Amino acid sequence: RRLIQKLSMKVDYCLTNPILSASNILSKCFRYILNGKLTCEATVQNLQYTSSFPNSTNEELSSSITIGPLNSDVDFQTIHSKISKSRLVAINSNIINLQSKIHLLQPKLPPGSLKTSWPLGLPSGFVPKTRFDVLRWTYFDNKNLYAKSDQSTVEK
């Protein structure tokens, strides 16, 4: 808390100093505020700090406290894609697991009841019989409606 208070008092120096680059501005700000008393350690409270994130596994990334330095937008994109892929795989495996549990419930239902579907409690999707039964989508933004009808493409 005291470090943040000191940082907030001297934030003008950190933001206006042209020597500081975007990738290391925070660490240099801390060093300036603490007058060089900030030391870097590889191990703190039995936690090992490493700096090889491109080769890190998903487990190493998810258990890390911080990830850096991110010297370019490619580094950020690499980290973001690795974390997003691992979360997507976990979510998809969870969905598959839930779907299999729902299908295992089918024999336990009373005879004549509706078939189980995913998501639970909602009927299965609407399947149109002809092209005229397809529900029309209206695309929009803050100002316009797009493709509202067959006669016009944009409506304000």
**For the segment 53-86, what is each residue's pLDDT rounded down to a tens digit?**
555 556 666 566 566 667 778 877 887 788 788 8
CB atoms within 10 A of CB 126: 8
CB 23 within 8 A of CB 69: yes
Number of domains observed in the structure of the chain: 1
Mean pLDDT of all residues in 42-55: 61
The predicted model scores a pTM of 0.41
d(CA 11, CA 25) in angstroms, rounded, equals 11
pLDDT in tens, 102-114: 888 878 877 777 6
Is residue 33 domain-resident? yes
Residue spans of alpha helices (H) in 50-72: 58-62
156 within some domain: no
Q: Is the dihedral of CA 45, 24, 36, 32 positive or negative?
A: negative
10: in domain: yes
In a domain, 6, yes or no: yes
Q: Per the domain annotation, does 89 fall within a domain?
A: no
Containing domain of residue 28, as a range?
1-40
Asked whether residue 28 is assigned to any structural domain, the reply reads yes
Residue 31 lies in a domain: yes
Q: What span, in angstroms and rounded, lies between the C-alpha atoms of 68 and 40? A: 13
* 105 within a domain of the structure (yes/no): no
